[in-house]
Structure 1
């Protein structure tokens, strides 16, 4: 068993649990309805690279293999028991780094309702306090205002710009880099979601 995996995390109506082959129908339906909305942010395969899994079953098998190797935590996002998206902790590095990066997507019908900030907060807390990681990074295209609002709500610091960082929507795209370390949120990231807004 990998440290921190498998895991099931819940806060309010939002649950993170391992992505499963049984999610196939719901996953395909959500992706179909949201194809145009997600396309500008979806990773693509650059010319000459190995093809990604062409089926949902292949995707789940690859992610579960990486989870067994301890390099990935592939979560499904649920709201009140309904599949609404994915959150993946990937590129987990142990040794002297104790680092991971995080990516996510959600059904447009549930966007803007606080689901993703809560899911990201739960995942970060899990990475720090259960999996024993020290730093989590989220890289976001400068044009992705929805995703930028997530890291802003959680108070993650922007630490740099990565030019032509990932192949997204058919081309190499710049990304803004946001990061947080365990020392920056001793009370947990989820507490920031629940905290009332500051006034004055």
Structure 2
């Protein structure tokens, strides 16, 4: 189950909870840009105890409906550390496409890290349709 709320400056935080209301993780949509861009950036985490059973995959799928439905955005971008294969699989399972690698993209643990860049756009046709059918 996903519980969403609007936070500062129009960003959206979605809290990933199970049937009992226990917090499992969080998804954040930030950098929401309107106008000609209609885009946002996606970030997420799931607690170590809940990694693996498809929690993040389902949550990302749910947030796609919010972004392309209620928010009416055109594009979502997400980034992963190069070695974070699990997160890359989550994005790809939901229809995201790797669009490149950004060297020295973010400072993590005191060092500038390279990141893979992913995106999904509303008119990706089959990619988005297949992702939607898996999460419906």
Higher strand share: 2
Structure 1 equivalent of residue 104 of structure 2: 164
Q: Residues 16 and 191 (structure 1 numbering): CA distance in 2 closer, same or farther, change over 3 Å?
A: farther
Higher helix share: 1
For structure 2, the residue ranges without an aligned partner over 5 or more in a row are none
1:76 equivalenced with 2:63 (yes/no): no
Q: Distance in 2 between matches of 1:163 and 1:100?
A: 21
Cα deviation 1:81-127 (Å, max 9, x = unaligned): 21111110011111100000100011111111111011111112211
| Structure 1 residue runs of 4 or more that deviate by more than 6 Å after TM superposition | none
Query: Which structure has the larger Rg?
Result: 1
Structure 2 equivalent of residue 3 of structure 1: none
Q: Residues 101 and 178 (structure 1 numbering): CA distance in 2 closer, same or farther, change over 3 Å?
A: same
Aligned residues: 133
* Larger RCO of the pair (alpha carbons < 8 Å, separation 6+): 1
Alignment root-mean-square deviation, CA: 1.8
3-state DSSP of counterpart to 1:132:
coil
Q: Residues 154 and 65 (structure 1 numbering): CA distance in 2 closer, same or farther, change over 3 Å?
A: closer
- 1:154 Cα deviation after fit: 1.8
